A and B are shown apart, each in its own frame.
Chain A
Amino acid sequence: MRLGILMLDGKMADVAGCMASSATFPYPVVRRIVTGARPPASAADVEALLPLYLEAARELEREGVSVLTENCNGLMVLLQDRLAASVSVPVVTSALLMVPQIHRMMPARRIGILAFHPESVGEEVYNACGWSAREIPVAVGGVAGSEAWQEFLRTKEIPDRRRLEADLVAAGRRILDEHPDLGAFVCECTLMPPANQALRDALRLPVYDVLNLLDLAMRGLFRPPDSRAAASC
């Protein structure tokens, strides 16, 4: 049982909670750098990456991974259907894939979407995840205005964790102040998990991110009925 991660080419954050860190996942992981893949800035960039990602995904499948993901969610979700149809294992390219089930768990509440750049998420991305904001009430916020987050994005290091956490909590609180009917957050950005537990503890609302979804996907392969068996394995 292994998670396969397709990695962009270049320096990635080696911080607990990030895809590149060995501390993040409680199960074995195989990472594969997609040679030549640079962080995509547009839908056209993402389309251009499809052949490289298809090949790398099939390679990891042949090596026996149980679930596939990639380390730059965001626009990469535009490839979700085609990547998932090309392999036999579940593929997760965005935490936003779980929005329909979170909505069903809290049908009277709004879902707060947290992204790095809020303008980068919208109907096109939602549709790629199989839902529409016309049917599921959401509110979007982001951290792009925070110097601490810009520095993390630029350097892939966290010199001041407290500022990073405080700025994420502030972004969450802004959505909550504007939308008192908020029931949960879904964090689209793969840089946020290092700070998400602070968000959970500060606002006392559930926060779901790509790690929660990958944990779920992997539990399809291993979830013993006696939870103590999980802890010892």
Chain B
Amino acid sequence: MRRPLGILMLEGKMADVPGCMACEATFPYPVVRKVVRGSKTPLSAEEAWAMLPLYVEAARELEREGVAAITANCGLIALMQKELAATVNVPVVTSALLMVPDLHRMLGGKRIGILTFFTHAVSERNYNASGWSGNDIPVALGGVGEHESWLTFLRTKEVPPELRAQMTADLLAVVRGMLAEHPDIGAFVSECTMLPACLQAVREEVGVPVYDVLTQLDLAMSGSYRPANAPVAA
């Protein structure tokens, strides 16, 4: 029997949209979600760090329940990747940025485009927490935070069809702008857990690989289950 993915969830309403952590349709393996009691969306790194004891306790509970890997639906928790991951014996993934050093090698040193929501929230501090530095790995940063469509999604946690079309168009414009400015981009990594809802459309339009927390979690989970006969078409 396949062991599930454990997701540490913030208290409060989360987007129940395919591609988001709270949605049943997102993952092709069993999932256990655990609301971290007393947590709330952190507005600063300090607020995130203050929640570390709550997250450690919840992560240990998930480990005792037998999950194969652990993640969290809050981007700022990634600042505590090392501290959180060191407290359990299963893989912990708090950010897609963890794969950047490996991807850098796979791309032979080409630039990596980092996609986020608010660009001012992502900097060397986040890169260091994921084990690398922008001084060693060439990156470019872009975000959707100035687009009304994405701000609406952030506020409402809903994606009606007409909003989805606008979100996809706006995300595509961000990606195309980055490619125009940096033609040496070899792949994108999406740091934000809200973007996967629209990233497949981007992949199909620009033909440059786009990695996100879902591709990262699929990898982490595949360490427990990847039969030699390819399991499903993907």
Residues of A participating in the B interface, judged by any CB pair closer than 8 Å: 15-17, 23-27, 66-67, 80-92, 97-98, 100-109, 129-131, 183-184, 193-197, 200, 206-209, 211-213, 215-228, 230-233
User: For A224, what are the chain B residues with a Cβ–Cβ distance below 8 Å?
Assistant: 18, 200
B25 within 8 A of partner (CB): yes
User: For A84, what are the chain B residues with a Cβ–Cβ distance below 8 Å?
Assistant: 105-109
Query: Among B6-14, B38-46, B214-222, which stretch is in contact with chain A?
Result: B214-222
Distance (whole angstroms) from the CB of A132 to the closest CB of chain B? 12
Report which residue of B20, B81, B91 has the largest number of chain A beta carbons within 10 angstroms of its beta carbon: B91
B234 within 8 A of partner (CB): yes
Q: List 12 A-B contacts (CB under 8 A).
A: A24-B228, A84-B108, A88-B110, A100-B131, A101-B99, A104-B130, A104-B131, A107-B86, A184-B91, A197-B226, A206-B90, A225-B20
B135 within 8 A of partner (CB): no
> Do residues A221 and B229 form an inter-chain contact, with CB atoms below 8 A?
no
With an 8 Å Cβ cutoff, the count of chain B residues facing the other chain is 65
A130-B101 Cα distance, complex, nearest whole Å: 8
Report which residue of A67, A89, A101, A209 has the largest number of chain B beta carbons within 10 angstroms of its beta carbon: A101
Distance (whole angstroms) from the CB of A160 to the closest CB of chain B? 16
Residues of B participating in the A interface, judged by any CB pair closer than 8 Å: 17-20, 25-28, 68-69, 81-82, 85-87, 89-93, 98-99, 101-110, 130-131, 186-187, 196-200, 203, 209-212, 214-216, 218-220, 222-234
- Chain A residue at minimal CB-CB distance from B221: A206
A233-B28 Cα distance, complex, nearest whole Å: 13
A89-B103 Cα distance, complex, nearest whole Å: 11
A33-B27 Cα distance, complex, nearest whole Å: 36
A5-B63 Cα distance, complex, nearest whole Å: 38
User: For A26, what are the chain B residues with a Cβ–Cβ distance below 8 Å?
Assistant: 230-234
User: For B187, what are the chain A residues with a Cβ–Cβ distance below 8 Å?
Assistant: 90, 220
Distance (whole angstroms) from the CB of A70 to the closest CB of chain B? 13
Distance (whole angstroms) from the CB of B125 to the closest CB of chain A? 16
Distance (whole angstroms) from the CB of B30 to the closest CB of chain A? 12
